[in-house]
C-alpha cells in the first residue's frame, strides 16, 4: 500500500472518531460545512445541457424547491449563472453580470431563496479555468484584465502571462492563476456570489486546467459550505488505480479543502452493470474500487451529468452515458455507499424515477449512511455485487446484478427493482 493511501485512510479514521463530538456544532453553525467530517449530504444536479431552453430555468428551480427538499436532497448544484458567450454558460464573459440564458439575476436570487427556505444549500458552477472577451478575444470587463491574465501559449497571440499550470482549453482564453490580481478579483467575485447572490459553495469546472493549489487558496479565502472539483481524465479499465490516484493527487494539491467527483467509480460501475463485470467494483484490498475506496470523505459519486449523459426531451452531450436501462442499479450503489452521492436532474424529474430514488435516499438517511461509512463487500463476481454498509444508526445491505443474493435472516427488504435490492437491519 503506497504512502498516499495510508495517509488518506488514517485521516478518514480520525474524522470518524471525531464526528460525534462535532455533530452538534455542524447542525447549528451557519458557517459549518459538509467538507469535513461524516457528511450526510445528498446532492441534486439542478440542470442538464439543454435546461436554458426552458425559460426561465430559475423559475423551474424555484417551483421545485419543495419537492427537492422533500426528496431528501440537502444541496443543489446550479448551472453557470453569469453572462457567457455560450447558452450553457461554460464560456464565461462578464463574471459579475448574473443575467444569463437561464434567467435574470432577480430570478436567480428568488430560486436560491426558495431553496434556502426549504433548508437546501446551493452550489454555483464556477468556471475559472478560462474566459472570453466582451466583444473580442480577450477584452475582459467585469472585471477588467489585460493580456497578462492569459497564459503564454494560448491560442490568442496577444497573451503575455506566465506558463499554464494545467491542461489547455482551446475554446476560450486560459487564465493565469499565478497573477495576484487574478486571484484577488476571483476571490472578491466568489465572496460577492455568496453575500449578494446567495450561493453557499462551489462546483469547480475543468480543474485539470489549472493547479489544484489555487482551488485550495480560493476555498481558504471564501469558506464554502461545500466544494467539488471536476477532474475528468481518461480511465484505463486495466489500471483504475492510476486513475483514482490522479484524483488523490488533486485533492492533496487543494490541501484537502475540496472534494472531487468520483469519475473512477462512474466508469467502473457502468462497465460492471453493462457487461456483468461486477468484480471490477472491489479492489485488491477488498475496498470499493473507485476514489471512494481511498478517500471517501472527499469523493462525490454520480451516475451521469450534463456532459456525460442525455438531456430532455432529447439530445444533450452524451459523451459517456450510463446504460439507460440500468440507471437504478447505479443509484442503488451510490446511494447506499460512502462519498457524497449526486442525482442527475434528467433521471429524477424527466425520466420519472423520483419515487424509486426517494426510497433509496430515505434508507440512506434512516440508517445514517454517510460519506465515511464502512463497506463490507460480500460478493463481486460475474453476476452480482453485494455489500453491507454500516451507518450511524443501523446497517444497509444491497445487491445489484442479475445474480441471486440475500443478506439472510434478520433483514427487511426496504426497496427493490430490476436487478437491484436494498435491505435494512
Whether 167 sits among the annotated catalytic residues: the reply is no
Distance between CA 32 and CA 424 in Å, rounded? 30
Are 274 and 323 in contact by the 8 Å Cβ rule? The answer is yes
Active site residue 304: no
Which residues 6+ apart lie within 8 Å of 326 measured at CB? 270, 273, 274, 419
Q: Are strands 43-45 and 412-417 parallel, antiparallel or unpaired?
A: unpaired
Catalytic position from the list 125, 154, 205, 283? 205
Distances (CA, A) of 235 to 265, 287, 421: 10, 19, 28
Task: For residue 408, give every residue at least 6 positions away whose Cβ sits within 8 Å of its Cβ, in sequence order, or none.
Answer: none
What residues are paired with 296 via a beta bridge? none
Sort 147 into a burial class: Cβ within 10 Å, 0-12 / 13-18 / 19+: middle
CB distance 412 to 425 below 8 Å: yes
Q: Which of 83, 230, 262, 283 is catalytic?
A: 230
Asked whether the beta carbons of 48 and 344 are under 8 A apart, the reply is: yes
Helical axes 263-275 vs 240-253, angle rounded to 10°: 160
Tell me the three state secondary structure of residue 412. strand
Q: Which of 388, 283, 412 is nearest to 337 (CA)?
A: 388
Beta strands in 353-418 (DSSP E): 374-380, 385-390, 395-400, 412-417
Among all chains, which residue has been given the C-alpha cell 427487511? Answer: 412
CB 330 within 8 A of CB 269: yes
What are the catalytic residues? 205, 230
Amino acid at each position: 500500500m503506497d504512502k498516499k493511501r495510508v495517509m488518506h485512510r488514517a485521516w478518514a479514521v480520525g474524522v470518524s472518531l471525531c464526528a460525534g463530538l462535532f455533530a452538534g456544532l455542524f447542525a447549528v453553525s451557519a458557517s459549518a460545512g459538509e467538507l469535513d467530517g461524516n457528511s450526510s449530504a445528498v446532492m441534486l444536479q439542478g440542470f442538464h445541457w439543454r435546461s436554458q431552453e426552458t425559460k426561465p430555468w430559475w423559475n423551474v428551480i424555484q417551483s421545485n424547491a419543495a419537492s427537492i427538499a422533500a426528496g431528501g436532497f440537502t444541496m443543489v448544484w446550479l448551472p453557470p449563472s453569469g453572462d457567457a458567450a455560450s447558452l450553457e454558460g461554460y464560456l464565461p464573459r462578464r463574471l459579475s453580470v448574473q443575467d444569463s440564458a437561464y434567467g435574470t439575476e432577480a430570478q436567480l436570487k428568488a430560486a436560491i431563496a426558495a431553496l434556502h427556505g426549504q433548508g437546501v444549500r446551493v452550489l454555483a458552477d464556477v468556471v475559472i479555468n478560462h474566459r472570453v472577451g466582451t466583444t473580442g478575444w480577450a477584452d475582459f470587463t467585469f472585471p477588467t484584465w489585460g493580456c497578462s491574465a492569459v497564459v503564454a501559449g494560448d491560442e490568442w497571440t496577444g497573451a503575455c502571462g506566465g506558463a499554464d499550470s494545467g491542461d489547455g482549453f482551446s475554446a476560450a482564453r486560459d487564465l493565469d492563476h499565478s497573477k495576484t490580481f487574478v486571484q484577488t478579483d476571483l476571490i472578491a467575485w466568489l465572496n460577492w456570489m455568496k453575500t449578494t447572490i446567495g450561493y453557499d459553495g462551489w462546483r469547480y469546472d475543468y480543474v485539470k486546467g489549472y493547479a489544484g493549489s489555487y482551488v485550495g487558496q480560493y476555498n481558504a479565502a471564501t469558506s464554502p459550505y461545500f466544494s467539488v472539483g471536476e477532474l475528468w481524465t481518461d480511465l484505463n479499465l486495466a489500471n483504475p488505480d492510476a486513475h483514482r490516484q490522479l484524483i488523490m493527487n488533486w485533492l492533496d494539491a487543494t490541501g484537502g479543502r475540496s472534494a472531487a467527483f468520483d469519475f473512477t467509480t462512474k466508469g467502473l460501475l457502468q462497465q460492471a452493470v453493462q457487461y456483468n463485470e461486477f468484480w471490477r467494483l472491489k479492489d485488491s484490498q477488498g475496498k470499493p474500487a473507485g476514489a471512494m475506496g481511498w478517500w471517501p470523505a472527499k469523493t462525490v459519486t454520480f451516475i451521469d451529468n450534463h456532459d456525460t449523459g442525455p438531456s430532455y426531451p432529447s439530445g444533450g452531450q452524451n459523451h459517456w452515458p450510463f446504460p439507460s436501462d440500468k440507471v437504478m442499479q447505479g443509484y442503488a450503489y451510490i446511494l447506499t455507499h460512502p462519498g457524497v452521492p449526486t442525482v442527475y436532474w434528467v433521471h429524477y424529474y424527466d425520466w420519472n424515477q423520483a419515487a424509486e430514488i426517494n426510497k433509496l435516499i430515505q434508507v440512506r438517511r434512516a440508517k445514517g449512511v454517510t460519506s465515511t461509512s464502512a463497506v463490507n463487500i460480500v460478493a463481486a463476481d460475474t453476476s452480482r455485487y453485494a455489500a453491507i454498509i454500516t451507518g450511524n444508526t443501523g446497517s444497509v445491505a444491497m445487491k445489484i446484478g442479475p445474480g441471486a443474493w440475500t443478506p439472510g435472516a434478520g433483514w427487511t427488504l426496504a426497496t427493490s427493482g430490476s436487478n437491484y435490492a436494498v435491505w435494512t437491519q
